[in-house]
Amino acid sequence: MGIGSDRGDAVETAVSDWAMYVGDVLLGALGVKIGEEPQSVGPFLVYQGLVGIRGSYSPWSTENRQLLHRLDSLVKGLEHSPGELHSISLMVFVEQNGATKGECRVDGVMSPAALTAAQSFPWTQQGAAYVFKQFYVLGRR
């Protein structure tokens, strides 16, 4: 079940979320000017989608660059893989006690290495659990 008062609202929310979190950065990696300049990591330009937070949490800030730094070795490891574009999807559940679990994917495939990198990040605790979502598209320079 999605987020919304009925099926139509849930579908509208899902499409809107996809456009904000995935669509814009995918267009950026394909060469469309989307505003924010991508970051360079190894042989790639990294386009970051908007951060998605569900639950009680203060707004995300400059922590985004710190999180991407935790993924550096993962990104650089894609250097010899085929393809011009790659994706990294993070969904991290931060529990009240600070423990984390989640689902992270690289090119659509579950990635324990991506989850380990995400779990190494010092997640902010506000005394309540929350879900963090982030999507990256990597384009070869």
Q: What is the pLDDT of residues 39-64, one digit of tens each?
A: 999 899 999 988 888 886 655 555 66
pLDDT of residue 4: 74
Interval 78-116: pLDDT, tens = 999 999 999 999 999 999 888 899 999 999 999 999 999
Per-residue burial over 95-111, b if 16 or more Cβ lie within 10 Å, else e, is eeeeeeebebbbeeeeb
Q: What is the pTM of this model?
A: 0.84
Q: What's the rounded Cα separation, in Å, for the pair 137 and 46?
A: 6
Q: What's the rounded Cα separation, in Å, for the pair 89 and 74?
A: 12
CB count within 10 Å of CB 3 equals 11
* Percent of the chain topping pLDDT 90: 38
Assess contact for 122 and 40: CB atoms under 8 A: no
The more confidently predicted of residues 134 and 1 is 134
pLDDT of residue 1: 47
Q: Which residue has 């006690």 as its token pair? A: 97
Domains and CATH numbers, the chain: 7-140 (3.30.500)
CB count within 10 Å of CB 85 equals 14
